[in-house]
Structure 1
Amino acid sequence: MELDISKHSLPVFEALASNVRINIIQLLAERPRNMKELAEALGLSSAIMSMHIKKLEKAGIIRTDRVPGKGGVQKLCVLYVENMEIIFPKKQEEHKEFHQTEISVGHYTDLHAEPTCGLATTEKIIGEFDDLRYFFDADRVNAKILWFYKGYIEYKIPNYLLASQHPNELEISLELSSEAPFTNSNWPSDIDFYLNNIHLGTWTSPGDYGDNRGKYTPSWWPSVVNQYGLLKKLRIANDGTYMDGNRLSDIKLEDVGIREKQWTFRIAVHEDSEHVGGVTLFGRGFGNYNQDILFHLYFEKENQNKEKLIENINSIK
């Protein structure tokens, strides 16, 4: 979850400003629990517990699922986020220049997928589910959602970096989830990322989400299958690779051939992984974030480097 310093993030800050709600989060990190279990564990009444749960749910930190129980339908509380990042306003002097490239989900250049699998445009399903032939249909370039159980998908990205521009960070932003039969929010999948054949690291997707319709998911899309994913930011910097601010590996920008005129970006689910749970990619017109796969290459111009060098020399003197 990404937060900023604005009124829109206040519900999250307010939800975390309570010892009781912190304890609830810690209990739900162990496993999902119903309202009665939480109330008994913390010695609170059901009414008080309901108030705390509503605050956490409003903040998007947890969600409640209605599931069958011994006494009928009960509310099962599930921890919804795995990390939070607070984005502070940037100082004016820290403004970064960058090249932006957006690659459509359907503009892949290579692929090997095994069922369950499929793809669709914002208007229709392409071909039939679980038939790999349709991944090479002419209409696949218009695909805005695709999924497969194991295998890989690969994209080619043009690099517009000039000789006078010095790269210092590449950020790759995409919305994705696991791929379960129908949907399952508890369906872990180890997803591997590669740039120019260099393994950047592995991120474990928690599940495949269908409890609510995606904000941008078309109205005709079946409600029993993937609805939305998590927006993940993969960042390759001069000191390593990070996922949403958490260190993923020691791979640095200099290790991935960042000055090559064209990059190759691969997303894979390997059959020998601990959690083989597939992957779903969401593009514009699907999910909760109206974007395809975004690449931001941040850089400094040559004169900026010289100015920094002079500042460093002066500081030593």
Structure 2
Amino acid sequence: MVGPLSGIVTPLWGTSELSSLFSAPPEVYLLALVPALLWGFSPVLSKRGMSEGGDAVQAALVVVTVDSAIYWLLLFFRQGFDLFADLSLATLGVFVVAGAVGTALGRIAVFNGVERVGASVNSAVISARPLFATALAVGFLGESVTLTTGVGVVVLVAGLVVLTLAKGGDLRGWQPRDLLFPLGAAAFFAVGNVLRRYGLTTSPTNALEAVTLNETAALVALAAYALTRHRDAVFGSPTRSYLYFAGSGVLTAAALLSLFTAFSLPAGDVAIVDPLAATAPLFTTVFSYFLLSDLETVTKGVVVGAVVIVVGAALVTLGPGAAAGV
């Protein structure tokens, strides 16, 4: 039976590609939604930490310290002292750069964004990450742009425009230039993801080893910066701010582990897992509405902008899979 949308959908995705998106085992969808839920709530804790007198660099350092400790414990529990046996210096360098750029700089930008524009707006803008990842793939890897990707880019940019005009977010108000922080975070995360994927696909390093190296490199970079340039803000902040940021670190660690587990399953295709994980801004919008009403406002424009950005990000992510067969 031919439906009224068949003429629109078919050029974007073939029937086999569409069916594959809904044929994965339930655990794949569940593991992909767990990061969305946790990453959706994490910005709420971060915003509370900021309201208690916290600082962006302090937040980034506390979060990476907590999740690094968790990853090292899990790594020792799983592998004992048989760690990084086949790790080359080149691979180590890849994960170090990914941690310093994709994680350290990315998270500083994230927490600056939370402080300036609010958790709901910041989380939605960061979901523009596939836009930067696509640009990197086209510019440096020679990948082609599919129709689906092109449509996704247009939709994603439209969502950013809606958010800019929404008049929501932090109650103190913000300027359009403040969106450079979450956009910068999205760009840093995209660079980090490209580097991590290269490291994982060109070496025998497993996912847990990779994320442990990544977070440890970020910890070293952030600690060095904090000790030399930001000592007073990091070590002089109120105790309650540390508790909120530590909670955010636990959620971040659990989210990444769930995401890597989803990708490790035979049916854990990127075209299934990534769009589901990218729905985090929708959860952040809901949580912010109920839990951050004293700090920020969630307008209809924020909700619409978040939904449009998530749809655009999903289309950009699905584009390469639709071309190659998801």
TM-score, normalised relative to structure 2: 0.24
Structure with a larger share of its residues in helix: 2
For the pair shown, the structure with the greater C-alpha radius of gyration is 1
Structure with a larger share of its residues in strand: 1
TM-score, normalised relative to structure 1: 0.24
- Quick one: higher RCO (CA 8 Å, sep 6+), 1 or 2? 2
